[in-house]
Chains A and B, each alone.
Chain A
Amino acid sequence: MAAPLSRLCRPLWRITTTGTLNKGVRNVSSSRQQNVKTAGVASPWALHGAVCLQRLPVVSQDRSPIEEEFMELMHQMELERSLLSDHELRLLEDAARMSRKQEEDYDSDEEEEDYRDKEIVTAQDLEDIWEQKLKLFQPAPRSQGVDEKDMGSSERCLADSLILLVKKDVGSQKLWLLPQIQWQTGETLRQTAERALASLPGADIKATFLGNAPCGFYKYKYPKHIQKEGSVGAKVFFFKAVLPSHKHLPLEKNLFAWVKKEELQDFLKPEYLKQVRRFIMAL
């Protein structure tokens, strides 16, 4: 009974869907056509591979005010709930001994044998010695003295992760983009992205690509006078790459920029930016 019923139901269902959801049906049919196309005919979208090269933060971020307050509270609470350490006990003993010495009725014989007439290194002296030793070491300054506005240097904002942008001629305009290059037959898209990175005029940047899968994509249509039969537009697939820890990269200023996530909006077109922002994580 069930089988013939279902056979009856199916055409009914199709009628209702074609009546109400025209768009859905159209989409389904177009994707089917596209699938047929990939089997025999090349798709109308040109493929590009792009690389999202990140310089990860080198220095820890500054604490926000609430974080500072909380850190101080935690230190205080830990100190209150702790036991006295050996060093602190020693400090207390030394202080007690000094106060005993200052008293008028001080009898040196009452002291323990070790502490009678010998010169003692008090715990306070030790602390001073340690502080002196610490001052001999000069750590590098956190801000590194590079101008924050100098977009070309990769030593900017050490506390944030920076993305590499390239100025490129697209059609008639010069746009800031993530480095991209056209896909060639016979290579995977990741190899295209690696080629895009290697083709940058600059030092050989050795970056680690994070996986074979793209992290995002952006598709755009060519303006109508460029559109021919068989090329509607281009699809750009982005791949994430990470710079190895701290190497200087001399790159030309006008063509390259190392940019934080917040500054991306000054450089990229709105539609492009919308897609790119999704996979860049500035945590």
Chain B
Amino acid sequence: MAGIVCRTASRIISSQASCSSVVAVRHSHWFTSVLSVKTSMPLRAEPKKKKKVDPRREIMMKERLKKKLKRLEKVPPELIPIEDFITPAKCFDETRIRDAPKLSFEESERRALLLKEWSRYKYSQHQTEMDTIKEALEAQRQALDELKLESEELYKAALSPDTDLFPFQHEGPSYTPPITNHEAPEGKYNDITRVYTQ
């Protein structure tokens, strides 16, 4: 450390000497005068002032950063937009509006009557569904009553929940039945979903 200081000091002195003649101005506190006896180390041995200033500077820097962080954190985070609620700009394009066809009187009448017929059909369907479900539940309740009359143990076993049932999976009906030993071709796709981070 001392050696490095020496070398830098000597370089500075030589540079100073080369550029100008004896300069009375002190460039640094290390060199009292160019003409005086040069000692390798300043014999006054003043402690490094950097020790105090630097920690203070570092502390000041940290505080400034912390204040900036606090200011940034106080801002509420931007909400992630819900893609479904934003109508895409394409829908407001006027060139896309279809010409509305003019319906004849018979056509509009037919439509109205069909809608009413459909509501009646759906209502009767719903009623039959509800009745079948009620019937099945009633049958189950009576079966459990009979079982209770028979034996308490079996009744309790019947009431206990079935843990193996769920998760229950079954493939529902499709339009055409599945082809035996069918190899589906591998499909390539580009996933363009937008991922937001807060």
Q: Is the CB of B118 within 8 A of A213?
A: no
Select the residue from B98, B129, B177, B179 with max chain A CB neighbours within 10 A.
B177
CA distance A190 to B158 in the complex (A): 8
Q: Which of A118-126, A173-181, A238-246, A252-260 contacts B (4 or more CB under 8 A)?
A: A238-246
A216 CB, nearest partner CB in chain B, Å: 4
B149 within 8 A of A: yes
Q: Is the CB of A212 within 8 A of B175?
A: no
Binary interface profile of A, 25-67, with partner B (CB < 8 Å = 1, else 0)? 0000001001100100001010100000000111111000011
Given A214-B147, A216-B139, A237-B143, A59:B157 Cβ within 8 A: no
Q: Is the CB of B179 within 8 A of A59?
A: no
Contact of A278 among B136, B161, B175, B176 (CB under 8 A): B136
Q: Is the CB of B165 within 8 A of A59?
A: no
CA distance A60 to B177 in the complex (A): 9
A93 CB, nearest partner CB in chain B, Å: 10
B197 CB, nearest partner CB in chain A, Å: 31
User: By the criterion of a CB under 8 Å from any partner CB, how many residues of chain B are at the interface?
Assistant: 49
Binary interface profile of B, 121-146, with partner A (CB < 8 Å = 1, else 0)? 10000000100110110111011101
CA distance A210 to B140 in the complex (A): 13
B132 CB, nearest partner CB in chain A, Å: 5
- Nearest residue (CB) in A for B110 is A73
Contact residues of B between 158 and 174, Cβ < 8 Å to A: 158-162, 165, 168, 170-171, 173-174
> What residues of chain A lie closer than 8 Å to B114, measured between beta carbons?
69-70, 73
Q: Is the CB of B170 within 8 A of A58?
A: no
Binary interface profile of A, 214-227, with partner B (CB < 8 Å = 1, else 0)? 11110100000000
Q: Is the CB of A281 within 8 A of B132?
A: yes
Q: Is the CB of B161 within 8 A of A212?
A: yes
Given A59-B174, A70-B118, A242-B170, A215:B136 Cβ within 8 A: yes
> What residues of chain A lie closer than 8 Å to B160, measured between beta carbons?
212
A197 within 8 A of B: no
Binary interface profile of A, 141-170, with partner B (CB < 8 Å = 1, else 0)? 110100000000000001100000000000
Contact of A214 among B111, B152, B158, B174 (CB under 8 A): B158
Q: Which of A9-17, A76-84, A198-206 contacts B (4 or more CB under 8 A)?
A: A76-84
A134 CB, nearest partner CB in chain B, Å: 13
A108 within 8 A of B: no
A265 within 8 A of B: no
- Nearest residue (CB) in B for A66 is B121
Contact of A140 among B91, B100, B115, B176 (CB under 8 A): B176
> What residues of chain A lie closer than 8 Å to B20, measured between beta carbons?
none
A283 within 8 A of B: yes
Q: Is the CB of A238 within 8 A of B143?
A: yes
> What residues of chain A lie closer than 8 Å to B22, measured between beta carbons?
none
> What residues of chain A lie closer than 8 Å to B151, measured between beta carbons?
38, 43
- Nearest residue (CB) in A for B154 is A189
> What residues of chain B lie closer than 8 Å to A281, measured between beta carbons?
132-133, 136
> What residues of chain A lie closer than 8 Å to B86, measured between beta carbons?
none
B53 within 8 A of A: no
Given A47-B150, A189-B147, A246-B171, A214:B97 Cβ within 8 A: no
Known: A60-B173, A60-B175, A189-B147. 11 other contacts (CB 8 A): A82-B98, A83-B98, A84-B95, A140-B179, A188-B157, A214-B140, A216-B140, A217-B146, A242-B170, A278-B136, A278-B139
Using a CB–CB cutoff of 8 Å, the interface residues on chain B facing chain A are 91, 93, 95-98, 100-101, 111, 114-115, 117-118, 121, 129, 132-133, 135-136, 138-140, 142-144, 146-147, 149-152, 154, 157-162, 165, 168, 170-171, 173-179
